[in-house]
Structure 1
Amino acid sequence: MTEPLVNASLVNYWPLIGVAAVVLGFALRLNPALVVVAAGFITGLAAKLSPLEVLDILGKAFTEKRFLLLFLATLPVIGLLERHGLKEHTQAWIARLRGATMTRLLVIYLFVRQLLSALGLTSVGGHPQTVRPLVAPMSEATAETKHGTLTDDERERVRAMAAGTDNVGLFFGEDIFIAFGAVLLIQAFFADNGIELEPLKIALWGIPTAICAFVIHSWRIHRLERTIALRAARDAAERASNKGEA
């Protein structure tokens, strides 16, 4: 019987306390940047690193990944567009389209987001630059045009569904892109265990999962709109009944 490669008794689990710090900080609704930095220090100190070594690691990570902060440059532009009525103009435009429904709109966005992510174009879309100023207002407008004024709860659920649609499209679409980090990570894991796989084969096996995700989320979108439609129908029936009694 072969000996285990790693003695479990020698593994230091204390650095995992940083994960608990992140969960606790987010649960208390503290500043996310402060929570992440504090969790990094907690993890580093638990791993017996000095404060200077932790700072060195954080500094290297920031300088090497600073290109990820480029999306911040879009935020002032989006803010100016919203200030000058982008949301209102979008809602007014979508309200004039005949045959438009929230389900059709979000399913089309899901398909496009998933397709572009599969081609590696993950930055075409996203919460700050697409969902908040465009997709969410358009979804609200189509729902209200079709079913009347939304309740506060329904409005929040529509916005959440718009954000979730972007997440699903991105997550399951990028797994099909052969140069995506997760695909290469899977390849490296199998290679370390003596199994050689081409990234293309791994990406192709992500297609069935992406199709299932598309179908399931499309059904969830349809179910939400159906719930709104049923509520609107009940309200209309109650108003007609009250009017008849009067």
Structure 2
Amino acid sequence: MEYLSLLGVLVIVVGFALGLDTVAVVIISALVTALVSGIDFVKFLQILGKGFIDNRMVSLFFLTLPTIGVIERHGLKKAATNLIQKLKNLTPGRIFDIYTGIRGLASIFGISFQGQIQFIAPLINPMAQAAGSIKGELTELEVDQIKGRAAASDNFGNFFAQNLFFASSGVLMITSSMKSLGHPIEASNVVLNSIPITLIAYVLCLIYNHMFDQKLKNKKVK
């Protein structure tokens, strides 16, 4: 009888194989598992509701997806493009430089945000494309390169600066791991030693972005 509790796994395998709605498959799988385990339907709903309420802050992440889509549809992307076209001196690389710096500064103060969804897709990417197309239309390859570099700017700013905040998960993990190995260190040691790495990474990003701007500029001249 204990094998009946594995029916939920079977539901997930079959549902995913048939390409059915992911959320529906997971909920049905949970319901089947609950029923074969002796949990009545009302109790199942109580467990499901409690789990949703306890993790509602995680669920808020999904609300940003349709929200960003709506504001893009109603002109945010176009407004960002128009703004960049008025600022003649901005280039894709300079936009990435500014955003990477902002992302790093936010990490120093422990401010975390979903940059790829909230900033890169609706703002930074279209702004960079607009800046790159001021002197000529971008090729499909150049558009893809700008998309990739826009996403990378968020990753660089977040990854290399995240340990500059004393209470970040990375700093806490390093200090606790070193302590368990018999080498106790303070969080301040981790932060101080992360500063040169962050600065080196940012300088390399500046060079990386400048080289891309020069490549676009030389192409336009030709």
The TM-score, its normalising length taken from structure 1, stands at: 0.67
State which of 106, 116, 131 in structure 1 corresponds to 2:120: 131
Give the letter for the 1:174 counterpart: Q
State which of 161, 164, 178 in structure 1 corresponds to 2:152: 164
Give the letter for the 1:129 counterpart: Q
How far 1:193 sits from its partner (Å)? 1.5
- Which residue of 2 is the match for residue 44 of structure 1? none
- Which residue of 2 is the match for residue 83 of structure 1? 73
Unaligned runs of 5+ in 1: 1-29, 38-51, 53-58, 235-246
- Which residue of 2 is the match for residue 204 of structure 1? 192
Percent identical among aligned pairs is 32
Unaligned runs of 5+ in 2: 1-18, 27-36, 38-47
Once the two structures are superposed, the pairs formed by residues 56-205 of structure 1 within 5 Å of their partners are 67-123=57-113, 126-145=115-134, 147-205=135-193
Distance 1:207 1:83, change over 3 A: same
Higher relative contact order (CA 8 A, sep 6+): 2
- Which residue of 2 is the match for residue 24 of structure 1? none
Give the letter for the 2:115 counterpart: G
Distance 1:69 1:223, change over 3 A: farther
Distance 1:118 1:134, change over 3 A: same
**C-alpha separation in 2, matches of 1:85 and 1:139:** 17
What is the Cα-based RMSD across aligned positions, in Å? 2.5
Distance 1:201 1:64, change over 3 A: farther
Off by >3 Å, runs of 4+ in structure 1: 61-66
The TM-score, its normalising length taken from structure 2, stands at: 0.73
In the alignment of these two chains, the number of paired residues is 180
